[in-house]
């Protein structure tokens, strides 16, 4: 790819994400202004989502306001703002709004515990307009005197602030992967660079990433040139450190830190191993080496006394020399992987190519942005290996998300049949994401639930309570096949609600209920260590993208990354199977239930 093309690609993604950011902040401003502006807030929030989900840069659609009108969520007024932005780089209404609302506090509005009314009160009563003074005020106990700020609310706010702080310091895996791969491509083009690879938590696919680590090899005579090349890439905002073998920079975008380390070819494997981590995994490896009279560091596996190099060119070589099976980066967390590698019993991890279908998604029938037919056509083109996709629109109590009433689901069944007939393939399956209500009952009648091919049951309310009982009750329902986003967390924004996981996993195993890995970048729910606990209990896992737009189907990779970090092989993931097996899983649950009922009736006779 030549430089001109790269430049063009960068400006392309910029328009959409910049506008999405502005619209999101405008929505926050309107929410802050109060109830009268709530429809504006909703409209701008919708426009922000649309911007994030566009396949092409907005300028491609923006030939005039009329053509923008065709995009979902973009009416005439917002269309004009887009045109204004493309022409002038600014939106006057936004510039005006910024002056009326304390901008520094606005970011907090995305955090659990900081609604617009709360922020307004704090701003007006405490006369604070920046985050630091607000945080200080909370810590000094000043807000306890305000009306409506009880101990539970304040506790909740403190937890929210902690999350917010963490989210400032660490990126989501999805963002870091994009940034990391962009920079890796650029590093590979620096004159003199031979090999380069991502290392650190990014290579291990941890759910959040502190900084991006890159390992590079080059001829020794070129090292100076490579370091100089790295610190002068156009994406670099600031050089943090620069030495002979390493450099650290901050990127312009999001001020992401990138650490680059240079090594010789024959050290590449041991350096990659060292800088991939985790630190805890490395410590265990070093102890192993020591017991054998060796030492292990970034320069190789060496004899302690003679300094003879035993291994170092590849990671495989180092693991082999230590008497270990190769350990995939996703498992390097000191969670028992070294012991298993010694016994040569590591699982053969699931790969993206094993996936045969997507288990949760939403269409325009509820809160998705695409018609069922468009989704089906897109999947046929982009994911030809998929044998099925399950449409799982929301149930009635999800009012904001446009949940469907029973009669509407029955209409949707007809539409799904029509689409399948048109594409000549039983690709689209009939499902729902049914709400688990406060008492653990479901939001749709039993007779309808029985008609679905697949039922995911999820919690969308009551995030501060222990939700174990609700989830257990849902598992006991014969028509619930899977628990969706089981912990309810949003990384950096909302903590998981309390759940007794051991109880839930036992119930899921006993009732034959699957548990979801939701691959939405902010969810990654169930999280990796709990996935491992779940499969140890014999639970079957599904991976789903929960897509609300076409661009989100590619998140399947993130779900697979979580499954790998949870030690899953193909056998533990239901949607690596053909639809026949999914149907068997479903029938199994019904049989289990029927069996239990018949035993109960025998006992009562
Ligand atoms: P992050 O950036 O916080 O998401 O996590 P990592 O794992 O990428 O950590 P980072 O960037 O500080 O260092 C990259 C790798 O380098 C780390 O996974 C292991 C290795 N490493 C760094 N510092 C040490 C250390 O003091 N001892 C050992 N054994 N390894 C280290
Ligand atoms: Ca790192
Ligand atoms: Ca680092
Ligand atoms: Zn949901």
pLDDT in tens, 26-46: 999 999 988 899 899 999 998
pLDDT exceeds 50 at position 3 = no
Ligand found nearest the CA of 259 = 3
Q: How confident is the model at residue 146 (pLDDT cuts 50, 70, 90)?
A: confident
CA 459, distance to chain mean position in Å, is 18
From the alpha carbon of 201, which atom of ligand 1 is closest? 8
The tokens describing 278, both together, are: 């985790």
> Is the Cβ atom of 333 under 6 angstroms away from ligand 1?
no
Share of the chain above pLDDT 90, in %: 73
Centroid of ligand 3 to alpha carbon of 110 (angstroms): 28
The tokens describing 87, both together, are: 């022409």
Helices (H), 34-75: 38-53, 58-61, 65-69
The tokens describing 382, both together, are: 């982009």
Give the pLDDT score at 10. Answer: 39
Query: What mean pLDDT is reported for the chain?
Result: 92
Centroid of ligand 2 to alpha carbon of 191 (angstroms): 24
Ligand found nearest the CA of 180 = 2
> Is the Cβ atom of 256 under 6 angstroms away from ligand 1?
no
> Is the Cβ atom of 213 under 6 angstroms away from ligand 1?
yes
Q: Whose CA is nearest to atom 24 of ligand 1?
A: 279
Ligand found nearest the CA of 210 = 1
**pLDDT per position as a tens digit, 76-94:** 899 999 999 999 989 999 9
Q: How far apart are CA 369 and CA 393, in angstroms?
A: 12
Q: How far apart are CA 436 and CA 565, in angstroms?
A: 28
Centroid of ligand 3 to alpha carbon of 383 (angstroms): 35
> Is the Cβ atom of 282 under 6 angstroms away from ligand 1?
yes
> Is the Cβ atom of 209 under 6 angstroms away from ligand 1?
yes
Centroid of ligand 4 to alpha carbon of 536 (angstroms): 25
Q: How confident is the model at residue 137 (pLDDT cuts 50, 70, 90)?
A: confident
The tokens describing 556, both together, are: 């399947």
CA neighbor of 158 nearest in space, from 184, 183, 140: 140
Ligand found nearest the CA of 212 = 2
What Å distances lie between residue 244 and 194, 224, 233, 272, CA to CA?
17, 7, 17, 18
Ligand found nearest the CA of 274 = 1
Q: How confident is the model at residue 605 (pLDDT cuts 50, 70, 90)?
A: low
> Is the Cβ atom of 210 under 6 angstroms away from ligand 1?
yes
> Is the Cβ atom of 277 under 6 angstroms away from ligand 1?
yes
Q: How far apart are CA 496 and CA 488, in angstroms?
A: 5
Centroid of ligand 3 to alpha carbon of 515 (angstroms): 34
Ligand found nearest the CA of 208 = 1
- Per-domain residue ranges for the chain? 3-169, 172-342, 354-600
**Buried/exposed 200-210: b ≥16 CB within 10 Å, e otherwise:** bbbbbbbbbbe
What residues form DSSP beta bridges with 296?
Answer: 301
Contact of 576 with 385, CB cutoff 8 Å: no
Q: Whose CA is nearest to atom 8 of ligand 1?
A: 200
- Ligand 1 test: best mutation among 203, 213, 249, most atoms within 8 Å of CB? 213
Residue that wins the pLDDT comparison between 513 and 61: 513
Centroid of ligand 2 to alpha carbon of 257 (angstroms): 9
Give the pLDDT score at 90. Answer: 92
The predicted model gives 446-475 an average pLDDT of 96
The predicted model gives 395-410 an average pLDDT of 92
Which residue's structure tokens are 């994030």? 52
Q: Whose CA is nearest to atom 26 of ligand 1?
A: 279
**DSSP character string of 152-210:** HHHHHHHHHHHHHHHHHHSEEHHHHHHHHHHHHHHHHTSTTEEEEEEEHHHHHT-SEES
Q: What CATH number belongs to 3-169? A: 1.10.150.110
Domains 3-169 and 172-342 in one fold:
no
**DSSP character string of 11-40:** HHHHHHHHHHHHHHHHHHHHHHH-GGGHHH
Centroid of ligand 2 to alpha carbon of 213 (angstroms): 5
- 3-state SS, one letter per residue, for 329-344: HHHCCCCCHHHHHHCC
Q: What CATH number belongs to 354-600? A: 3.20.20.140
> Is the Cβ atom of 207 under 6 angstroms away from ligand 1?
no
**pLDDT per position as a tens digit, 172-181:** 999 999 999 9
**pLDDT per position as a tens digit, 231-290:** 999 999 999 999 999 999 999 988 899 999 999 999 999 999 999 999 999 999 999 999
Q: Which CATH superfamily is domain 172-342 in?
A: Beta Polymerase, domain 2 (3.30.460.10)
**pLDDT per position as a tens digit, 320-358:** 999 999 999 999 999 999 999 999 999 999 999 999 999
From the alpha carbon of 204, which atom of ligand 1 is closest? 7
Give the pLDDT score at 9. Answer: 37
Give the pLDDT score at 148. Answer: 84
The predicted model gives 185-191 an average pLDDT of 97
What Å distances lie between residue 31 and 97, 169, 390, 554, 580, CA to CA?
12, 27, 35, 32, 48
Give the pLDDT score at 106. Answer: 83
Give the pLDDT score at 138. Answer: 82
Centroid of ligand 4 to alpha carbon of 306 (angstroms): 60
Helices (H), 390-541: 406-423, 446-451, 468-476, 501-511, 528-536
Helix (H, G, I), strand (E, B) or coil at 482: strand
The predicted model gives 103-107 an average pLDDT of 82
Give the pLDDT score at 96. Answer: 93
> Is the Cβ atom of 99 under 6 angstroms away from ligand 1?
no
Which residue's structure tokens are 């309310």? 461
> Is the Cβ atom of 273 under 6 angstroms away from ligand 1?
no
The tokens describing 50, both together, are: 């649309």
Contact of 249 with 230, CB cutoff 8 Å: yes
Q: Whose CA is nearest to atom 13 of ligand 1?
A: 200
From the alpha carbon of 259, which atom of ligand 1 is closest? 11
Centroid of ligand 1 to alpha carbon of 152 (angstroms): 37
Centroid of ligand 1 to alpha carbon of 527 (angstroms): 21
Report phi then psi at 215, rounded to 5.
Answer: -105, 135
pLDDT exceeds 50 at position 427 = yes
From the alpha carbon of 206, which atom of ligand 1 is closest? 4
- Ligand 1 test: best mutation among 176, 180, 201, 261, most atoms within 8 Å of CB? 201
Report phi then psi at 262, rounded to 5.
Answer: -105, 135
> Is the Cβ atom of 275 under 6 angstroms away from ligand 1?
yes
- Ligand 1 test: best mutation among 206, 248, 270, 279, most atoms within 8 Å of CB? 279
> Is the Cβ atom of 87 under 6 angstroms away from ligand 1?
no
Centroid of ligand 2 to alpha carbon of 240 (angstroms): 15
């Amino acid at each position: 790819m030549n430089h001109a093309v790269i430049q063009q690609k960068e400006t392309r993604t910029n328009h959409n994400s910049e506008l999405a950011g502005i619209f999101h902040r405008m929505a926050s401003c309107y929410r802050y202004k109060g109830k009268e502006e709530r429809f504006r807030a909703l409209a701008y929030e919708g426009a922000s989502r649309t911007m994030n989900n566009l396949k092409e840069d907005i300028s491609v659609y923006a030939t005039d306001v009329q053509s923008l009108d065709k995009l979902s969520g973009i009416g005439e007024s917002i269309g004009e703002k887009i045109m204004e932005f493309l022409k002038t780089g600014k939106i006057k209404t936004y510039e005006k709004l910024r002056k009326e609302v304390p901008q520094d506090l606005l970011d907090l509005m995305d955090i659990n515990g900081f609604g617009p009314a709360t922020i307004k009160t704090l701003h007006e009563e405490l006369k604070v307009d920046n985050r630091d003074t607000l945080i200080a005020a909370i810590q000094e106990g000043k807000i306890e005197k305000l009306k409506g700020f009880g101990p539970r609310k304040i506790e909740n706010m403190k937890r929210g602030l902690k999350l917010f702080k963490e989210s400032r310091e660490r990126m989501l895996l999805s963002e870091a992967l994009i940034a990391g791969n962009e920079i890796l491509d650029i590093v590979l083009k620096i004159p003199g660079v031979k090999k380069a690879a991502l290392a650190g938590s990014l290579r291990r696919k941890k759910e959040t990433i502190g900084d991006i680590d890159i390992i590079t090899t080059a001829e020794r005579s070129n090292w100076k040139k490579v370091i100089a090349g790295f610190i002068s890439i156009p994406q670099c905002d600031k050089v943090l450190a620069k030495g002979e073998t390493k450099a650290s920079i901050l990127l312009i975008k999001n001020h992401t830190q990138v650490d680059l380390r240079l090594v010789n070819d024959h050290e590449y494997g041991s350096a990659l191993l060292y800088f991939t981590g985790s630190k805890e995994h490395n410590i265990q490896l070093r102890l192993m080496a020591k017991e054998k009279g060796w030492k292990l560091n970034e320069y190789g596996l060496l004899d302690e006394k003679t300094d003879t190099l035993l291994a170092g060119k590849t990671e495989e070589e180092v693991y082999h020399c230590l008497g270990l099976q190769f350990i995939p980066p996703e498992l390097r967390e000191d969670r028992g992987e070294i012991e298993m590698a010694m016994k040569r019993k590591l699982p053969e991890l699931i790969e993206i190519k094993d996936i045969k279908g997507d288990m949760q998604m939403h269409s325009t029938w509820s809160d998705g942005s695409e018609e069922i037919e468009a989704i089906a056509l897109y999947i046929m083109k982009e994911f030809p290996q998929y044998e099925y996709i399950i449409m799982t629109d929301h149930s009635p109590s999800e009012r904001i998300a446009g949940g469907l009433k029973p009669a509407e689901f029955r209409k949707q069944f007809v539409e799904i049949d029509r689409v399948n007939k048109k594409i000549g393939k039983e690709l689209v399956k009939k499902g729902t994401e049914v709400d688990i209500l406060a008492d653990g009952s479901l939001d749709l009648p039993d007779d309808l639930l029985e008609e679905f091919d697949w039922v995911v049951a999820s919690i969308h309310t009551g995030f501060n309570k222990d939700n174990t009982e609700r989830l257990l009750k849902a598992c006991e329902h014969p028509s619930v096949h899977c628990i969706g986003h089981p912990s309810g967390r949003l990384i950096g924004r909302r903590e998981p609600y309390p759940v007794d996981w051991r109880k839930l996993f036992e119930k899921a195993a006993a009732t034959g209920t699957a548990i979801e890995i939701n691959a939405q970048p902010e969810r990654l729910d169930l999280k990796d260590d709990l996935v491992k606990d779940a499969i140890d209990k014999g639970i079957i896992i599904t991976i789903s993208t929960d897509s609300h737009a076409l661009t989100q189907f590619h998140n399947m990779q993130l779900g697979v990354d979580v499954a790998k970090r949870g030690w899953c092989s193909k056998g533990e993931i239901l949607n690596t199977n053909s639809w026949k097996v999914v149907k068997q899983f479903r029938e199994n649950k019904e049989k289990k239930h029927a069996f239990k009922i018949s035993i109960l009736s025998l006992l009562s006779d």
